[in-house]
Amino acid sequence: MLDKIIKTKRDRINVLKEHYIINDHFDSKPTKFFQTLLESSNVYKIIGEIKKASPSAGVIKEDFDLLGLAKNYISSGISNLSVLTEEDYFLGQYQYIAQIKESLDIKILQKDFIIDEWQIYHAKNIGADCILLISEALTKVEINLFVKIAKEQGLDVLLEFHNEDEITKIADVELDVIGINNRNLHTLKTDINHCLHIRDKYTDQLSRFNIVAESGFSEKRELEMYKTNGIDLFLIGESLLKGKL
């Protein structure tokens, strides 16, 4: 699935480059996405994800109300959003970020598949505070380059991985926060204990990072189990969107 998405994304980027003019006159001060998350007074520091659909779940919200969802998250105490902008498999739109920012004061992670440095400048232009990088989709050289470019634009970076083979790519990356995805993006299978297992197996390599546990959470007892084991940062979408959490 990841390979299919990336192939489609490459075609999309080539078209977008032809029609979208990057404005290089913008504020490059740090956006403080993660500072806001870490300073949240919530019991569970959750990045609330907004998405209409996903390859694993199909259409999640038929009655998709972008601003309504964002307001509901904010009213529940969530200080950070993840907004899907990938068009083909998640039915996202780039305009979603600007639409939220025009009405609400909240930090936003652009959730997409970044494989070209041009996308980082585009993320800044559309109002993102943070970008997602997926280790499995990038080489180590690309990861370090993209992190450098993002920092120069004042953007935070959530670098995520699932497969333990990716540890060698990310262990020395110049970031303070890392994401461990409980979902395998190739098979779409989810193991709720995967993040904790990887953290514990690779303590030496990962101890310097604040870890964001991603995907698969459906009950508060799972969040409590993670918190008891030293991880209290989460990225959650489907369960929140369906009202399970």
Residue 214 annotated to the active site: yes
H or E stretch covering 34: helix 33-38
> Could you count the other beta carbons within 10 Å of the beta carbon of residue 164?
14
Does the annotation count 181 as an active-site position?
yes
Q: Is 103 a catalytic residue?
A: no
Query: Which one of the listed residues 135, 166, 215, 238 is annotated catalytic?
Result: 215
Decide if 160 is catalytic: yes
Compute the half-sphere exposure of residue 26: CA atoms within 13 Å on the CB side of its CA.
19
**210 in active site:** no
Residues 9, 101, 107, 111: which is the catalytic one? Answer: 111
Catalytic member of 49, 166, 222, 238: 49
Asked if 76 is an active-site residue, the reply is no
For residue 176, give both structure tokens. Answer: 């303070």
Write down how long the chain is: 245
Q: Nearest-CA neighbor of 13 among 151, 112, 146? A: 112
Active-site choice (86, 214, 222, 238): 214
* Beta-strand pair 45-50/233-236: parallel
**Residue among 51, 52, 107, 169 flagged as catalytic:** 51
The question of whether 215 is a catalytic residue gets the answer yes
Given the residues 54, 80, 135, 181, the one annotated as active site: 181
- Rounded CA-CA distance 210/187 in Å is 26
Which residues are catalytically annotated? 49, 51, 111, 160, 181, 214-215
